[in-house]
Every structure is written in structure tokens, then in C-alpha cells.
Structure 1
Amino acid sequence: MYLTQPLHRALQHAPDAPMTAYGERTRTARQVADRVARLASALKGLGVTVADRVGILMLNSDRVHESIFAIWWIGAAAHPVNSRWSPAEIGYALNDSGTELLLVDDAFADLVPDLRTRCAGLRTVVHCGDGPAPGGTLRYEDLIRSSTPVPDGRHGGDALALLLYTGGTTGLPKGVMISHRGLRSSLAGSMLAMRNVDRGGATLVTAPLFHIAAVCSWYAQLVMGGTVVFLPLFRPADFLDAVQRHRVTTCILIPTMVQLLCEHPALGDHDVSSLRSITYGGAASSGALLRRAMETFPGAGFSQGYGMTETGVLCTLGREEHAAGGPRLRSTGRATPAVEIAVLGPDGSRLPTGQVGEIVTRGDHVMLGYWGKPDETARALRDGWMHTGDAGLLDEDGYLYVVDRIKDMIITGGENVYSAEVENALATHPAVASCAVIGVPDDRWGERVHAVLVLRPGRTATAEEIRDHCKTLIAGYKAPRTVEFADALPTSAAGKILKRVLRDAPRPAAP
């Protein structure tokens, strides 16, 4: 199946219904299709051919929507660049991928001279903003106006559709190659499992579209028809305004966003009754936050999605399980209909129910590989399985419990401690806003459990109080031996805590 199909379907079913909304601008499916066909023609005229990578360095907008479809229209691969990276990191991704044409908006126009210097192969830059165009760039709207529409090539199957670079939580980022078949397979499975997108509804895309979760949320609404509403950045007030104005029915959020919305003072001034589905993922969510969110948005069903850039959505925990509550809320749900998962031991054998090992998966949803990195691809794709690097277990009904990243497991005094378990205990303390647990070198124990905490405004806590609280919930050897208080935790663009940064930070020895 080709990924441009939802646009053709919209032209057949509802050509004059709104497809995109951004700021004051709304465009129908008919308008979008015409602009996509013209932009595709312009890209071809600029030398873009099948399998070329086209960079997109933009905040979320309707023009990102049009650009991705135009790129697919001519059989090229869309390369949404992490807009939160430094110029050096952006330059690395453009050079590594061999990107020769880059689309930029007003937010990144000032970076163009620097990127040209860093990227010798970058031959064309298209300015997609409304402000002044940087020197030597082409204007997006001029290209659309001056180009004659070309027919859709309907490229699909195992052709490269997306090149998404990992967040770089360890080492250099890797370009994950996602095919048309892979993205469609992942989406089909998650949509069947969660049923969280309304036919003809409205999805609010606020997570950045260089992230696989945002791509899935955006595309799922297009499959079902309806409108995609874009916010360039997540701001709680803007989110609430957009939900009220566009009668948004569904969205995907990371837990940090959920917390900010629950705490926003203007929440009660907005009509958010149209929201019927909120999907969360991308980072661990505490039980306390989830309960508060469900109370704050009582009309919305909650779903969780677990996956990674390399696989798309693997498991879902649907609204029925959330409504029922209970211990399964600690799980990530069950594998979607398109996915096979297993838990393997160090020798590669399947582990029995309840035993912790590495989570692996196989199926059409798995990436093609890492761009230009055959050795790393071979390490990840072994014996027919994609090795996720996550440690977890399956229960007797197939619910998956992710306990940690394998590299984040702490071995202290010969005992295995999974940092996620300690973090869950810490998150129940009323003074703790956010937390991270890492292993740090210790002369006596080899590693010690170390917690970094951000406290809620106006709240206080001592290290001893935190340790005592944890010991009421988990074994004493798992409780943090040392506690550090911080103003904020370092996070990646996807909202994941950068434990590498925390491990590298200097700190005194244990008392």
C-alpha cells in the first residue's frame, strides 16, 4: 500500500471538507491535493528523484503535511530533522543521510548559512515561511504557484518512506529507515487495537513530526478522514484553545504534557468536552499522574502506546483496561494484531511467563535498518527479531511489563535493580514532580542506586524522607542510597530523560 492513499480517498469521499488547520489557515482536501501535486512537480524539477532523502527542518504546520505527501508522491523519502538539535547535530544528520534538498521555515531561516557551510552536499534550500527568505533560497509558495501538477507515482511496499533519526540518548543518532509497508502495518495494528480515532474527527498534532508517535497520530486521522490541526509547539494555553476552537476529538501526549495540562490554571475556562480519546506514551507515566489526568478529562478515554522509532507501535493498553484500573495499568498492554513480541534470555531462548529478559519483535512493522550502518543494523536485527534493548516480562494473558532499558539496570551488591521500579516508587511521594534513577560507581557495592529528583513548587523533602518512603513500597536494597535534588531533568526532543547526561555529571562519593 502506498502512503498517499488517504489523500485520494479524501478527494473521493469529502473533497471540500477541511483536511488541515494551522493558525488562521484551513485547507480542504481538494486544495491540499492540488498543492501537493504542484509541490511534487517542483521537487522533481529541482532534481529530486526516487529514493532521494528530502530534509524537513520545520515546526509542525500544514506545510509539513503538504511536504511529506509531495515527497511520497514522487517516490522520495521524507527526512524530518529534529528541530530541537544544535546546528552541529542537524548538520550531522543532513550529511549522514546525504540530504541535498532541505525545506526550512521561519523558525530556522537564520540557520541556513551555517548549514550550507557544514553540509557541502546541500545544494537546494526551500524557504517555507511567511517572513523574509534567506539569501540563495527558493520560496515554497512561488514553487507551488509556478508548477504544473504531476500525477501520483503511487510508490509503496518496501520503498523507503521515512528517515527518522533517533534522539541520540546514547552516542551519535542513527537514521531509522521506515518503509511504506512498515508504517502502514504498524498503524493498522494500533488502530485496530485502540480504536482511538474517530471517522471524520479532528486530531491535534502538538508533538513534533520528527517523532514516530506524532507521525502515527497525524497519519491515523488521515486514514479515517477528518481534520488534522497543527500546533508548532506545545504550550498548554495554545493546546486548550485549539481543542475548544476546532472541537478536537483525539491527541497524543507525553506524560510531561499531561502534567502541564492538569496543572494549568486556565483549564477550567476552556470547553474540552469534544476530547474523546487521549493516547499517551514516549515516557513512563506514574499511576498518580494517570489517575489525575483521567479525573481532569472525564469525557476522554485513555490509551497507552508502547514502541520505538524502529518498530512503530508494538503494544497498546486500551480505554477498557484504563477504565477497569487495577495492576494492569502498570503494563504497556498487549501486542497489536500486526505485531509478534517475545521475551528472550541472554542465550536467545524464549523465557517463561513472568521472567525478565529482552523484549524482541518481528513483523512487517520493523524498520528496514539503520541508514549507512550495517554493523549496528546486524546487532539490532538478529535471528529474525528486532532487539529493542528494553527489559520486560509477559504475564499469563500476554500483557507486557517494561521494567527498564537493559543498559539502565543497576547491579548493586550482586542484586539486579530496575530503575523504572524505583522511579515508580519515588513518583508516589507527594513532593516529587519528576525523577530519574541511575546507577553510579560505588567502592563498596559496585554500583549504588542514585535518585535525581525535581520537587513540586512549594514542597520540600529530605533524602532520608525519600529513602524511607521508598522502603515502604520496595525492598530496602532497591531504595536510593543517595538522593540529589535538581531544578530540572535533561530530556531529549522526544521527552525522554537523558540518563547518559545524569551519569556523566560529577557528584561526590556516597557518605
Structure 2
Amino acid sequence: MPAEASAAITTPTVTPTSTIHTPSPSAPSTPRENRTTSVQGDRGPFRTHIEDTLDALRSDPDREVLVHGDQRLTAGQFHSLVHRMAHALVARGVARGTTVTLLSGNLPETVTARYAANLAGCRVNHLYNKLSAEVQTAIVEDVETQVLIVDPRYADRAAEITAATPVPHVLLLGESKREIGADLLALAAAQPAEPFTARARPDDVCTIRHTGGTTGHPKGIVTTFEQADRMARTASAVRPAGEEQARQLACTTLAHGAGMLADVVIRAGGAVVLHDDFDAGEVLAAIERERITRLFLLPPLLYELLDHPDSAHRDLSSLRGLTYGGCQASPARIADAVRRLGPVLVQFYGQNEAGGISVLAADDHDPDRPERLRSAGKVLPGVEVEVLDSDGKDLPYGELGEICVRSDGTMTGYWKQPELTAEVLRDGWLHTGDIGFLDAEGYLTVVDRLKDMIVVVGGHVYTTELEDLLNSHPKVRQSAVFGVRDADRMERVHAAVVPVSGVEVAAEELRAAVREQRGAMYEPAHIAFLDALPLTDAGKPDKKLLRQRAEQP
């Protein structure tokens, strides 16, 4: 769906108990101040989700936990390395409340370093690797980074960042040709493996997770340890049907949804196979070779997987849950995926700001019901949803408004942006910036982002609706729709289209199809044909880049 993805969650086996606060025409809304979400009882002394995960690892120290190339890390090795790293950080003077920023790819050591920093009571920020040096530098400075932990492959970028904004401690995850800091693995090897006593408190900041920056400068989203603990327990309560021991393939950045899903799998006794980046052929081979049961992809990457020539003859029978989300999906392409892969697809809708919101379960993925595939499913247990008009009033079923959410997963706020926090968080409700509606059966449909909606003469063009139409054309593989202002400051509808391989399609042919099915208002003023859509680090269509290209003379 068109929002930041949160943790990737697979098919729930628990009975939904969520509350939807959108009144039917015959039922008046309940006063907002009387609406509450159940709070879990006192569990005794606070323990972080990191401690619970590490305890779970001790029960079977020889099981495989992390795989990267030829490297295979066991539970015992993972447990030992996390504690050694935590001791090493504290020995360097790193204190509780310190910001630790990760500049790293999908390495096993990336995961252990994050766990170690949280164990030491530090707040962790993980940079998207495909952001520019300028943006990464601004983030490093803004979050008050005291420790920069660097993948040796990014040593040059780290040197560029620290030259612009000095960081007290720079630590490398292994040896590097460029000496920019101490080797954290060597420091950890010199420390004892005895358990490190966690220093975090419930209200301490656990993570500062940034938005993808597709609609502006990335914003830091603050989550406390208590919130992270609640979300971890909720995510651990769901699993795909028929799955014995989970094996997740993480082929998108650990700074995004794949990292949160990895935590769930590790805690549940499974293993995570790490790829440095998404490559459809390599992903298909890994599913077959490693007997992968779980996969999280954004829709554009799922389409690449389906379109790859190897998809027809690779053995993908091990898959039990293929979760997709993070941006709008094409019902036509999802229906094709169900026919190809079977009943394993699950759509997850969430935001970094809001946490998980809703899930369209595998048994709701009926290829013959495209209207259901357009929805984001049913609201998750423990989550409250309202659909509000511009005056903040509840809307009846079927009417479009802004989706607002309240749950334990709602962010504390934006890092050092109180005015923006107050704008988005009102009376405990998170205003998602997504436009959508609820139906009488409790299914939530997201139509567009408020920022992506294009205001044209005669009304509004919802970009996801036009993308849905274009993607349904037999000659179109993918599309992205966005607004561009002309010299008169009027918005015009633009579309970037990836045609089906080996097939020719003319812009006028697509415009005619749009006129016939949606009317002239939706007709794109300009259509650009591309070999592939540019994607963000998380795997979303980079509409900001497409808009910049279209604005160039």
C-alpha cells in the first residue's frame, strides 16, 4: 500500500479482536475520549525484546541463525557475539542513551551490532545505503550520532560523512583497506562472552527509523523500548499455516521491513538468509537452494520475480508466506502471483509512524475477486482505525477520508520535530496521510497518499487508481503515476510505464484506454516509457526522482 512499510507480518492464526471506529449509517460514533485500546497486564520487571530473543537462542546453540554467502552463524555464535559487542561498546565509553548509527549492508554482523547497541541501552539509527552522502550526513548529524558502525564496503562513504560531521567513535565490522576506525569484531573478540546486563529502560528510545524520503527529506521516527517490546510480542503471535521452522530470505535492506521480520524469525527459532540486494534470479535460486519459507517484497520487486525467466522452472514449493506491502500493488499482478505461487501471498499495510495497521490474509487472495485484492485487508488485533473527513469527523462506510490509527505501535513522535509531531499525532491518533475507506465487512482500502493525489481541473486524480488501470493493460508490466506542475503552476498527470518485454505500445493507445475507462480527467498529459522503474533503497517506485526528471527542460 502507498505508505511506509512496517514489520512484515505473515498470515495470522489468531482470532482478530481489532476495533474499527467508523460508524455505519445507523450507528452513531462513540465519543473519541471514551475509546480505548486494551493494555497488556504487568509482566513484572521490564525486559527488552532483545533479552528475550537472546534467551531463546540459548536453548539450541547449534542451530543455524544467519546465512550470508558461505558464512553461517549459529545461535550460540550469535549469542556470544552480541554480548561481546555490547561489552566492547561500553569499554569504549558508550553510555546508555547514546545514538549508534549503522552504515551497513545486509551482513550478519549488522544484526548483531544492532542487538548489542540496544542491549547497551543505545538508540539505533540504520541508514538507507542508497541515500546520497549529503542526506546521510544530515541524518548522522541530526540524530546526534556518537558511534558510527560501518560495513567495510562502505568505508569510503563513512570517511566522506565524518569529514563533514565528525563522529566521536567510528567502528568497522571487520578489516578494511581504509583505516577510519577500530575493528569492532576484534574489540569484541577480546571481551568476555558472559551475558551483558541490559541497560535500557522502557521509555528510552530504541530506534530512530527514517522514512524512505520519497516525498521529501527523510523524517526520524522515534520508537521506545517498551513499544518495540510490545510490537515484537504481537508479531511473534502470527505465523504462516503449515510452517514448522521459518527460513526467511532478506533480499531488501535490513533498515526497512526485512530487518523487523528478521527479528521475528530469529526469536521464533528460525533462520535468516541474507542477500546484499535484490536480484530476481538469485532470489529464485536461493528459495530453491535454502528451502526458504518466508519472503518480504515490495510489489515492484514481486513483479520482477514473476517476470524472470527462471520463475517457471525453479522449485518454490517451500514458500509458506510471501508478504508484500510498502506501496500500492496491482490487483492484476497479484492475481497472477497467486495463480503462479499458490495461496501464500499476504498483503501487509503499515507505516513506520503507525506500526502495523491491517493484513489481507492468504485466504482473501482470490484471483477472481479483484475488488478484494484492491483492499489492504482487515485491521490487526489491538489496532483502532478511523476514517475522517477534513473537519475531523468520522465517515460512514464506503466514504473516502484520511485513515487515522491508534495502537501500541504508534510512534512517540518525529525526532526533534515537535511541530510536525503535533500535526500528525492528535489526541493519541496518528494521521497517516493516506486516503481510503472501510467497507461494511471491515476491509480497509487505501486509495492514495494525500501528497500523491493530483489536483486537476474538474477534480482529483488518485494515482493508485490510474496505476491499477495501466497495469491491467496487456502490454504494460509496471507503471508509476505522479503529478508535475507546468509553467502556469497547474498539475498535470504524468505516467512512467514499463512495457511488457518485446511488445510495442504507443502512448496514444494507453491514453485511449484511460479515456474509455476512467474519462479524460485521468488521461496522462505525458507518458514516458522506461526499461525499469527507478526504486528507492526500500524497493518503492522513486516518484520524487521521476518528478525531477519530468521537470527538467
TM range (shorter): over 0.9
What are the ranges of 5 or more consecutive residues in structure 2 without an aligned counterpart? 1-46
- Greater shift in the superposed pair: 141-150 or 52-61: 141-150
Tell me the equivalent position of 1:236.
280
The answer to whether the Cα contact below 8 Å between 1:436 and 1:453 also exists between their aligned partners in 2 is yes
Query: What pairs with 1:142-291 in structure 2 (closer than 5 Å)?
Result: 142-149=186-193, 150-153=195-198, 155=200, 157-189=202-234, 192=237, 195=240, 198-211=243-256, 213-291=257-335
How many Å separate the matches in 1 of 2:487 and 2:134? 38
Amino acid at match of 2:203: D
Tell me the equivalent position of 1:337.
381
The reply on whether 1:491 has 2:527 as its aligned counterpart is: no
The reply on whether 1:107 has 2:153 as its aligned counterpart is: yes
Q: Structure 2 length as normaliser, TM-score?
A: 0.86
What are the ranges of 5 or more consecutive residues in structure 1 without an aligned counterpart? none
Aligned with 1:210: secondary structure? Answer: coil
- Greater shift in the superposed pair: 166-175 or 339-348: 166-175
2:54 counterpart (8, 13, 16):
8
The answer to whether the Cα contact below 8 Å between 1:3 and 1:72 also exists between their aligned partners in 2 is no
Aligned with 1:100: secondary structure? Answer: strand
- Quote how far apart the aligned CAs of 1:92 are: 1.0
How many Å separate the matches in 2 of 1:417 and 1:358? 16
Q: 1:453 to 1:268 in 2, by over 3 A?
A: closer
Aligned with 1:220: secondary structure? Answer: helix
Aligned with 1:16: secondary structure? Answer: coil
Tell me the equivalent position of 2:352.
309
- Greater shift in the superposed pair: 41-50 or 163-172: 163-172
- Quote how far apart the aligned CAs of 1:360 are: 0.9
Tell me the equivalent position of 1:322.
365
Q: 1:325 to 1:66 in 2, by over 3 A?
A: farther
How many Å separate the matches in 2 of 1:442 and 1:103? 44
Query: Which protein, 1 or 2, shows the higher relative CO under an 8 Å CA cutoff with sep ≥ 6?
Result: 2
Aligned with 1:473: secondary structure? Answer: helix
Aligned with 2:196: secondary structure? Answer: coil
Tell me the equivalent position of 1:354.
398
Amino acid at match of 1:307: G
Tell me the equivalent position of 1:20.
66
Amino acid at match of 1:335: V
Tell me the equivalent position of 2:170.
125
- Greater shift in the superposed pair: 32-41 or 172-181: 172-181
How many Å separate the matches in 2 of 1:128 and 1:420? 41
- Quote how far apart the aligned CAs of 1:189 are: 4.3
The reply on whether 1:81 has 2:127 as its aligned counterpart is: yes
Aligned with 1:4: secondary structure? Answer: helix
Amino acid at match of 1:384: G
Q: Structure 1 length as normaliser, TM-score?
A: 0.92
Q: 1:191 to 1:17 in 2, by over 3 A?
A: closer
The answer to whether the Cα contact below 8 Å between 1:440 and 1:503 also exists between their aligned partners in 2 is yes
Query: What pairs with 1:40-59 in structure 2 (closer than 5 Å)?
Result: 40-59=86-105
- Quote how far apart the aligned CAs of 1:136 are: 3.8
Tell me the equivalent position of 2:414.
370
- Quote how far apart the aligned CAs of 1:404 are: 0.5
How many Å separate the matches in 2 of 1:475 and 1:445? 23
- Greater shift in the superposed pair: 364-373 or 284-293: 284-293
Aligned with 2:145: secondary structure? Answer: coil
- Quote how far apart the aligned CAs of 1:406 are: 0.8
Q: 1:441 to 1:199 in 2, by over 3 A?
A: same
Identity across the alignment (%): 33
Tell me the equivalent position of 1:460.
504
2:431 counterpart (387, 390, 406):
387
CA deviation vs aligned residue, 1:392-437 (integer Å, no higher than 9, x gap): 1111122111111112222222322211111110111122222122
Amino acid at match of 1:159: D
1:34 counterpart (35, 60, 80):
80
Amino acid at match of 2:450: I
The answer to whether the Cα contact below 8 Å between 1:217 and 1:251 also exists between their aligned partners in 2 is no
How many Å separate the matches in 2 of 1:142 and 1:484? 51
The answer to whether the Cα contact below 8 Å between 2:209 and 2:352 also exists between their aligned partners in 1 is yes
- Greater shift in the superposed pair: 368-377 or 22-31: 22-31
